Structure 1
């Protein structure tokens, strides 16, 4: 339900920001220069450029959704939060002879992180004191309960009653509503349920915000980011985890490109190479790198070499296919034109085929880098003791969601930076892309 609401809000923000920005920033939506003369945009990447206003609004929207569905202190509109404070509910007990009596359960709902604090004496924090109530005069006595938000507790209402459940006492109503074992009664402050054996439980209303265990607030993640850089995790700082992961990804990609591009060129230029390598490439290409982990361990051990080899295999087949596609996509008219001008085979390869295939190779390189970053988590499962993937996996075992999110954000930011850097490098090295 929460995920569907997030999607609906994001789509609503997309269309809303589009119409607002189109009115306020008209110039941002107007085509300029020669692009405005183009009438066909499908298949022409140069005809569509990213609207920076939309990019900024998209990032702000994602950040707002993050804040809105957490218990963040950032002053932005938020979804309804969990119940905190004091509440109560009434239950009716019936004896075997039909006699009934009512009692009240007073509930105090507190923040779950109170127990994680430390008081002045240096001792860990504890649950807040329960509400003080009078027991009442009937055989069913009033009860108290303390429960953390996002949690639930069993209410042993018979612990102070004059008649126990074993003697035939059973609950028949909650807040005046009839209830059977296994049923529930909802209130604005929470949900009261009866177990199959007739014992009540209380769960505070959660609202639409997520507990810190599932999604910590942005400021909590930021604090953890600085803590990881200062104190580290599993004996290494965040910078060291990042350096090792980046080093493995770059090495795996480098060797994958170093071997994959020549093979792809050979497959695109000669029928013998195409026939020789095609079965292997097409067989290995659909196999996910994760499936190769057992073989990598057996063949290369659990050291650094095994991780680099796994990333190498993740990049290899992509680079082969990209180079082969680039060569096969060269217009034959350009080759004939070069031959007619007296070019040798070497000149055709270096002056025609390579320049025209470079755009496809760069596209493949960007895809391969993305796959390598996606595989680094699995690669670092191979007995690694350092790396972003290792940090994330170890943190997940202890449910340290803030560390997991820090690792994910760092991987995403670095991946985005690599993508942007490769685009800039492509525009610098291949200025003729889309022009010839």
Structure 2
């Protein structure tokens, strides 16, 4: 190296200076992308519209579970592909934009299939596009979390996610009610669900454009050399050598396993109360409204106390909400249960995605994200399919009791076997 070349410490200082100088612009870019993108994706991912739509076109609990499983199956291997594709790059944004665009195309195709296809062809096309949506979703999670980690300091990430989720959640909650009460009830454009998906495509696409247009990405001083994905997989045992990360990963898998009942909450609610488009919209409003209101609490608590605590609290709320749903007799406790599920899932998503950024080194971050995402989506693939079989054979109540058992196990592991990564 030449004598006048900057040292690694100087390069790191320049990197930090770039981050600080562009923090305002990147904060606004991530906030805008998250607000608009989250709005569209939350309409798609809420445990109301999509399960209800799948049941409408299939008439089968098993096929509802299969459709949700196919979406997660698509995300099983793609995080590894994404991590292998970005960890050797100094600039991640171009790859992230391509992945995000491909993901949004699948939502558009879901809408078009709803408009123009019927019968078995509609079911096949819907399942295929859900698989592709999951495939690109798994890649996007790694790439976009990498971008977040590069440009937003650790002590500000929680609040950024909280503010963007509050804004996006508020818009999504209102749009969800409107979609249920108007699009679905009045079957707008011939298919209210397809029109809802089309709205999601438009909103998420605007968010992606804002990120591409305004984000300023730094180039890190060090990156990993490019190696084949097979060779990189050999490093996994070393990543799992961190006991706290390994135990957290086990807890995360148990929480994901608890989602076995999530697609069927709306179907169980339909047995307890009158269910029409307005009711679906109101339940989605309760779910996303809780997500919106709780995000600020999760973000501030996580930034100040660490995300291990928010992970634990979110699990407790989830357990209470499921118990409330089981004993509910009428609409009000069901709305409260969906509110609790929304708040808990919001806390889980923020906690699990942010705490992973704090284990280990920056250079290992892509593969650490990929490992956690692959493990999570592998379990999420099995869960809805198993849930469909159980619901088909034994009814909905066993699903909820199984979910509560998984959540209790995750709670105990996190409380007694995982140390807060910031203070260990």
Higher strand share: 1
Q: Which has the larger radius of gyration?
A: 1
TM-score (norm 1): 0.29
| Structure with bigger RCO (C-alpha 8 Å, 6+ apart) | 2
TM-score (norm 2): 0.29
